[in-house]
Structure 1
Amino acid sequence: MRDADPRVVLGLHRSRHERRLLTGALDLGVTAIDTSTNYLGFRSHEVLARTAGDLLPKFRLSTKVGYFPAPDGAEHSLAPQRLYVAVEQAARDLGREPDVVFLHNPEHSLHEGAAHSRDALAQACAALEEATSNGLCGAWGVASWNPSPLPSLIDTTTPRPSAFMVRAGLLVGIRTLDAADAATAAWGLNGSMVWGMSPFGGSANAPVWDRIGSRVFLRDSTGLSPVQAAFRAAYELPKVGTVAVGTDNPAHLSDLIDALAGKVNERTIEEYRNLLRARLLGQPA
């Protein structure tokens, strides 16, 4: 069994929630898992408690609230009372208080003007802050697939999260990267408080990873595959301290952990961001 490495979180977005995956993760030193109320058709918490309830105390467990069952599948809400009740329900369904609860994709309900959106975000964050103060979870954060609306809405009335989760990796556009950096700065968070997610844009088996020369982002990529190099680079795009990655294959998880030994070429990372920005602005590379 390897020593625990806090830089990797096992994400359960597309996972089958099999017990063997959780035991395999523990054997590899991955002691954090991330899920959401709406994963597995809103059954993730119940399935985890039923199939691996005895294992959950061994993990640092994070989940998300913001999506709710609806006749057409799901609806999103930032209503403070609904969010608070969702955190209560998560603790009951899991059989334990989550270590972190994220406000899930708040941008999905921020469409009614700056003043309304600013108040809605602040009140939603306050609901999670209250849930944390009342012992329903260990800490709270914000998880955003598209953080672009957030920086302009964060001010002194917006509670400060303990963690901020955003997309990370070579497939993330410069708008998202810049917005993630701006929101991180607006909240006064350091890099260790920022989490990356979806480092392969949905699949590490996609053909794009055979075409991208991802090893160029490392100073010494000897022995690392393109997928491993891409995973290591994801910690710099944007700068994050932890990456949540999904897989149902412990061997794949092991390969990603091995990739953490790679040393990033900071100059190449910066040049890449400059190229993305120049492309957005229509400037020559």
Structure 2
Amino acid sequence: MDLGVTALDTSSNYLGFGSHEALARTAGDLLPKFTVSTKVGYFPGPDGAGHSLDPVRLHAAVERAAEDLGREPDLVFLHNPEQSLRGAAPHNQDALVQACATLDAAVAKGLCAAWGVASWDPSPLLSLIDATVPRPAVLMVRAGLLVGARTLDAAEALTEAWGLEGGEVWGMSPFGGSTSTPLWDRIDPRVFLRDGSRLSCVQAAFRAAYHLPRVGSVAVGTDEPAHLGELVGALAGGVDERTVQEYRSLLRDRSRAQPA
């Protein structure tokens, strides 16, 4: 909050399905000062976490999230629906419609203020979206320099299919998991900025993520306050749209050259 961050994103399955209680316990009376989003779709099982789009389980998960947080979430995402949709053919569209309708009903019942879809791989969703599928308030997708051309194109196509724009599209995992990955020592993302000389490579990579694909917010980890502060400072940087488009063209060329 001191850094100006006022939105927190978590998931029911984080911290071994204990993230909601941990967040409520840690934030305490500060939690109402933040907007809180979470995700449902993964459930504990005898062999570890399993995924389900069962409407009854999803509804119960939203109820449990509000109970464990001590407040209704501002936004609940349907977490990686593609995990179950792949095995639901030929009834995968029905499964998606029912899952989205369940979250829509949760909003109507006051269990959360809005609902969305968070997808690691949005490609399987594209062929399923039509007027029968409820429209989410927010779509969350992977963003950044490590996202492949097919995923970027699918995310943009899904955004268009649902008629989302601006702040209705969020990004996640802008560093592919960690800024300590050796890759970040070998590239200089500052080429994507109009004047990147005053920003670090990490800051430049984060700023560029807002354009790969175009998103209004990007979720990052909060393990290190200093790192979080560095990323907040990166928002002042200006992105060179021409360089981003050239990069997208290179990604598409490389994707087409790879065997299917």
Which residue matches 1:213? Answer: 188
Partner deviation per Cα, 1:4-60 (whole Å, 9 max, x = no partner): xxxxxxxxxxxxxxxxxxxxxx00010100000000000001112223221110110
Q: Is the 8 A contact 2:75 2:113 kept in 1?
A: yes
Shift of 1:73: 1.2
Cα distance between partner residues in 2 of 1:209 and 1:170: 10
Which residue matches 1:20? Answer: none
Q: Is the 8 A contact 2:85 2:92 kept in 1?
A: yes
Does residue 40 in structure 1 map to residue 33 in structure 2? no
Gaps of 5+ in 1: 1-25
1:74-153 equivalence runs, <5 A: 74-112=49-87, 115-153=90-128
SS at match of 1:137: coil
**Any runs of at least 4 consecutive aligned residues in structure 1 with deviations exceeding 6 A, and if so which?**
none
Which residue matches 2:176? Answer: 201
Gaps of 5+ in 2: none
Does residue 62 in structure 1 map to residue 37 in structure 2? yes
Shift of 1:113: 6.0
Cα distance between partner residues in 1 of 2:131 and 2:189: 40
Cα distance between partner residues in 1 of 2:70 and 2:52: 24
If the length of structure 1 is used for normalisation, what is the TM-score? Answer: 0.89
Which residue matches 2:213? Answer: 238
Shift of 1:115: 4.2
Cα distance between partner residues in 1 of 2:79 and 2:30: 25
Cα distance between partner residues in 2 of 1:113 and 1:256: 40
Cα distance between partner residues in 1 of 2:173 and 2:88: 29
Percent of aligned positions with the same letter in both sequences? Answer: 72
Query: What's the C-alpha RMSD, in Å, of the aligned pairs?
Result: 1.1
Partner deviation per Cα, 1:91-110 (whole Å, 9 max, x = no partner): 00110000000000000001
Cα distance between partner residues in 1 of 2:65 and 2:174: 26
The number of residues matched between the two structures is 258
Cα distance between partner residues in 2 of 1:239 and 1:88: 32
Does residue 160 in structure 1 map to residue 135 in structure 2? yes
Q: Which amino acid aligns with 2:241?
A: E
Q: Is the 8 A contact 2:13 2:19 kept in 1?
A: yes
